[in-house]
Amino acid sequence: MKSVLWIQTGACSGETMALLCAENPSIEQLIRDGSIDMLWHPSLSGPGADLAALIAAIEAGEQSLDILCVEGSIVTGPHGTGMFDSFRKRPKMDIVRALADKAGVVVAMGTCAAFGGIPASGNNPTDSLGLQFDRERQGGLLPFEWRSRAGLPVINVAGCPAHPDTIVRTLALLARDLPLELDGLNRPAEFFSALVHQGCTRNEYHEYDMEDVTLGGRGCMYFNLGCQGPSTQAVCNTTLWNGRSSKTRAGVPCFGCTAPNFPAETDLFKTEKIVDVPVKMPLGVARAQYMAYKNLAKAAAPERVRLRKMEP
Ligand code: SF4
């Protein structure tokens, strides 16, 4: 059984909501089957739980900590003090640093904890950053070379929020000491190797270049409506949300929320283009070939695609 402490820093509770929605397995299952001992979680711990005492015991070496989960960006403002986000007058960034040094494994739950996320975008008034990344730059609260007791970097379960099943399955693998391969951004490769584009029900519209110009249609949202599915690694269309849907199925473009530069500082509902060509090509695709193929494909589109007869 692995001891787990889940702490929130500059968070909106999105990862907690995702955690509580997980079904495959659910967090209750992991607790009930004895995989994890949840020492503390802001939404699961009862009124008797004493976070301050727990933190003190872990720091003193009286309580072991196998898995530290951090939800939210690390707030370092104002002026590097971290006092915009404190617990009992102590900056949470210092608490996280101290707990990370005691933990067997540290997991950044969500894009904020992994890369800084929304608070770190734009002019970043709270001086927020991620645990081991600052947006796409290596090094955040912890230096990039930092390793946990188990010899691992911070494991980045990215997403805004991360997919519920990705959160709980990562915990389940760690609880059972099963191997967890990481990708170049220290995300569990198992959940971040497929593209959102793969499994999207609008794929055939994409192939034949049948693109929507307004939201709410049946076509592809890549060319005009900002969809980043072809360059975003996540399970959203292969493991559906709540077992039934995804953003693209519901007619909302993928915003690329598992990437370190999320949110992009452009209109999320509009594709950035140079003349008529999207600036960002699908992952691994060359611009010239893509455009040539698209023009041919559009001319060959079958009637069911041209007339938008397919249900998304
Ligand atoms: S809507 Fe997005 S994810 Fe779906 S096919 Fe088009 S580009 Fe791909």
Distance 148 CA to ligand 1 centre (A): 38
Domain with CATH 3.40.50.700 in the chain: 2-191
pTM: 0.94
**DSSP classification of residue 10:** B
Q: How many CB atoms lie within 10 A of CB 81?
A: 14
pLDDT of residue 173: 97
Ligand 1 in contact with 197 (CB < 6 A)?
A: yes
Please report which confidence band the pLDDT of residue 285 belongs to, taking 50, 70 and 90 as the band edges.
Answer: confident
Instruction: For domain 202-307, give the fold.
Output: Cytochrome-c3 Hydrogenase; Chain A, domain 2 (4.10.480)
Burial of residue 292 (CB within 10 Å: 0-12, 13-18, 19+) is exposed
Q: How many CB atoms lie within 10 A of CB 215?
A: 13
Q: Which of 189, 183, 106, 184 is nearest to 141 (CA)?
A: 106
Q: What is the DSSP string of 32-59?
A: HTTSEEEEE-TTTS-TT--HHHHHHHHH
Is the per-residue pLDDT at 15 higher than 80?
A: yes
> CA–CA distance from 201 to each of 69, 219, 229, 247, 279 (Å)?
34, 10, 12, 11, 24
Quote the CA–CA distance of 132 and 140 in Å, as a whole number.
4
Please report which confidence band the pLDDT of residue 61 belongs to, taking 50, 70 and 90 as the band edges.
Answer: very high
Ligand 1 in contact with 187 (CB < 6 A)?
A: no
Helix (H, G, I), strand (E, B) or coil at 213: coil
Query: What digits encode the pLDDT tens for the residues 87-140?
Result: 999 999 999 999 999 999 999 999 999 999 999 999 999 999 999 999 999 999
pLDDT of residue 24: 87
272 versus 258: the higher-pLDDT residue is 258
**DSSP classification of residue 69:** E
Is the per-residue pLDDT at 312 higher than 80?
A: no
Contact (CB, 8 A) for 114 and 158: yes
Radius of gyration of the chain (CA): 21
Quote the CA–CA distance of 159 and 172 in Å, as a whole number.
18
69 labelled binding-site residue = no
Helix (H, G, I), strand (E, B) or coil at 14: helix
93 versus 306: the higher-pLDDT residue is 93
Ligand 1, residues 205, 220, 223: which to mutate, most atoms within 8 A of Cβ?
A: 220
pLDDT of residue 270: 93
Q: Which of 111, 191, 117, 116 is nearest to 156 (CA)?
A: 111
Helix (H, G, I), strand (E, B) or coil at 110: coil
Ligand 1 in contact with 222 (CB < 6 A)?
A: yes
Minimum mean pLDDT range among 67-71, 129-133, 278-282? 278-282
Domain with CATH 4.10.480.10 in the chain: 202-307
Contact (CB, 8 A) for 40 and 105: no
Minimum mean pLDDT range among 31-40, 71-80, 273-282? 273-282
Minimum mean pLDDT range among 100-109, 243-252, 271-280? 271-280
Please report which confidence band the pLDDT of residue 302 belongs to, taking 50, 70 and 90 as the band edges.
Answer: confident
Please report which confidence band the pLDDT of residue 212 belongs to, taking 50, 70 and 90 as the band edges.
Answer: very high
pLDDT of residue 161: 97
Ligand 1, residues 200, 233, 238: which to mutate, most atoms within 8 A of Cβ?
A: 200
Is the per-residue pLDDT at 273 higher than 80?
A: yes
21 labelled binding-site residue = no
> 2-191: CATH homologous superfamily?
NADH:ubiquinone oxidoreductase-like, 20kDa subunit (3.40.50.700)
Query: What digits encode the pLDDT tens for the residues 156-211?
Result: 999 999 999 999 999 999 999 999 999 999 999 999 999 999 999 999 999 998 99
Ligand 1 in contact with 236 (CB < 6 A)?
A: no
Is the per-residue pLDDT at 18 higher than 90?
A: yes
pLDDT of residue 309: 85
